[in-house]
């Protein structure tokens, strides 16, 4: 028997589990992007079956015995880190019975599929009926996790997405944002109002928008041999590192929404495509956390994509596709892409008002999971918070209010804070990259992103889950999460 026989058994088991996850990811992508409506129920059942099988293999008593025995084996640093992640996955899964896993998968598929037609029809009554089922199951999950971890139900779900993060820590981080963001937002809007802008005049044919998106993905280093671009009702990045699927949604009258959706998802995709392949199928080779994942998409979309240097590079490609018009004159084009305009839709929000969308959802979902409010209370609360933050009313407008996202349809409670944490990490990472790479803006304006992406590969991408989030960020930037970089970035760019 080898000196690390138990660890080797675990490595084989997790490789097998990763293959099931691969199939599940591609079947889910197909459900969102390609599947005819009539396939919904059967696909939901097939995915639920797969999730139960995955759960049963992962929570087998034998896996628990191997994990315990492997702690005593002679393992190197990489294997120890992998064992830490294996143990985390096992413990997370073991808290739930298979029956609940199956019910959650079925309810999520049903709710998401119905949302596709309910949202355009502004059908809150129909949507809320399905959402109530999802919330009831999510509360069951949260209660089981909270009892085992000795924390609040919401914190137990938050830990799934952002290990070691708590709502107490979020309240401090988000409480700080609340002290300065409303004023910065007001100042930015007032400043920009002094210089009226020309909006781009459509229509912008979808075929040409797609061409532009593909060209931009190529410039940003997306590997088309291991991924593709498609259309879905809500933009996302899915699949597996060897086969990354990203989606966007097009509007003939709106040029830049789809394009920056593509840039955002390409950030996710580049992270996935550059995760370590030396530990195939192992938890250590997976993305560190959802906030680190969002830091990569927001690094691409906001830090890089909305920078003056990148926009100067993008402008000729847009003129080549859609012809010259006054809105595409350089200074107007840059200002238009950096405009601050509070709106209803989170995925289209500028980076100054974006945290408002996230904090609003965080406060609602935490109260919902902790049992302080019910599904019926969501629209009123949503409207109150939108009015307070952004001065916009969503009364009776559910499609642009509490029905705009899909994260709650599949029980993704605890995910939303990742977006603003990701924006904070992105600002801190870009600051560190700029310090490490003199002449970065000149290189970006010339369309040369190689040094920037190599810096990301060295500092973030290649490590997967080898380090905790705090270790990863400290190694990359010299300090733990520091929200000051986010504030400095917004002040510098918009004031």
Q: Which residues are catalytic?
A: 265
What would the two tokens of residue 481 be? 């999460």
Pairing of strands 243-248, 237-240: antiparallel
Tokens 């809500």, located at residue: 234
Q: What are the φ/ψ torsions at residue 251 (nearest 5 degrees)?
A: -140, 120
For 316-422, strand residue ranges (E) read: none
How far is 394 from 413, CA to CA, in rounded Å? 22
How far is 246 from 268, CA to CA, in rounded Å? 9
Contact 463, 404 (CB under 8 A): no
How far is 450 from 428, CA to CA, in rounded Å? 20
**Residue 429: exposed, middle, or buried by beta-carbon count in 10 A (0-12, 13-18, 19+)?**
buried
Contact 297, 285 (CB under 8 A): no
How far is 455 from 433, CA to CA, in rounded Å? 7
Contact 255, 204 (CB under 8 A): yes
Q: How many residues does the chain have?
A: 495
Give the DSSP H/E element, type plus range, for residue 253. none
How far is 315 from 256, CA to CA, in rounded Å? 11
Handedness of CA 414, 416, 422, 423 (dihedral sign): negative
Helix 417-436 and helix 450-459, axial crossing angle in degrees, nearest 10: 120
How far is 129 from 111, CA to CA, in rounded Å? 9
Contact 247, 44 (CB under 8 A): no
What lies within 8 Å, CB to CB, of 386 at 6+ separation is: 344, 360, 392, 393, 394, 401
How far is 8 from 298, CA to CA, in rounded Å? 37
Contact 279, 285 (CB under 8 A): yes
């Amino acid at each position: 028997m080898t000196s690390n026989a138990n660890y080797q058994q675990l490595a084989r088991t997790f490789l097998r589990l990763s293959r099931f996850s691969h199939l599940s990811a591609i079947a889910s992508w197909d459900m969102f992007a390609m599947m005819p409506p009539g396939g919904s129920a059967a696909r939901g059942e097939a995915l639920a079956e797969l999730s139960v099988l995955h759960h049963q293999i992962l929570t087998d008593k034998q896996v628990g015995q191997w994990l315990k025995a492997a702690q005593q084996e002679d393992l190197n640093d990489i294997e120890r880190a992998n064992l830490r992640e294996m143990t985390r996955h096992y413990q997370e899964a073991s808290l739930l019975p298979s029956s609940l896993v199956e019910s959650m998968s079925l309810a999520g598929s049903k709710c998401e599929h119905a949302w596709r037609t309910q949202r355009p029809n502004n059908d809150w009554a129909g949507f809320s009926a399905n959402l109530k089922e999802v919330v009831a199951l999510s509360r069951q999950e949260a209660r089981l996790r909270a009892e085992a971890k000795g924390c609040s139900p919401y914190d137990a779900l938050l830990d799934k997405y952002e290990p070691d993060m708590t709502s107490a820590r979020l309240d401090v981080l988000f409480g700080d944002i609340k002290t300065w963001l409303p004023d910065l937002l007001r100042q930015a809007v007032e400043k920009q109002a002094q210089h009226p802008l020309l909006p781009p005049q459509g229509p912008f044919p979808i075929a040409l928008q797609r061409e532009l998106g593909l060209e931009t993905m190529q410039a940003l280093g997306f590997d088309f041999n291991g991924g593709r671009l498609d259309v879905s009702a809500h933009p996302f990045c899915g699949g597996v590192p060897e086969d990354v699927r990203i989606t966007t949604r097009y509007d003939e009258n709106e040029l830049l929404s789809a394009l920056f959706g593509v840039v955002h998802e390409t950030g996710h995709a580049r992270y996935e495509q550059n995760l370590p392949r030396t530990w195939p199928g192992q938890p250590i080779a997976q993305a560190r956390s959802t906030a680190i994942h969002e830091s990569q998409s927001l690094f691409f979309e906001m830090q890089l994509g909305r920078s003056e240097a990148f926009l100067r590079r993008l402008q000729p490609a847009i003129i080549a596709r859609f012809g010259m018009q006054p809105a595409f004159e350089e200074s107007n084009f840059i200002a238009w892409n950096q405009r601050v305009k509070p709106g209803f839709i989170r995925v289209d929000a500028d980076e100054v008002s974006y945290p408002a969308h996230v904090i609003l959802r965080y406060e609602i979902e935490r109260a919902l999971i902790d049992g302080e409010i019910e599904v019926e209370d969501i629209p009123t609360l949503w409207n109150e918070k939108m009015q307070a933050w952004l001065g916009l009313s969503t009364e009776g407008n559910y499609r642009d209010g509490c029905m705009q996202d899909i994260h709650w349809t599949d029980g993704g409670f605890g995910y939303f804070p990742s977006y603003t944490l990701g924006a904070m990490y992105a600002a801190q990472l870009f600051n560190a990259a700029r310090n490490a790479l003199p002449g970065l803006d000149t290189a970006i304006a010339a369309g040369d992103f190689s040094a920037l992406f190599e810096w990301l590969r060295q500092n973030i991408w290649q490590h997967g889950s080898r380090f905790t989030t705090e270790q990863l960020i400290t190694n990359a930037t010299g300090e733990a999460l520091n929200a000051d970089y986010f504030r400095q970035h917004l002040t510098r760019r918009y004031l």
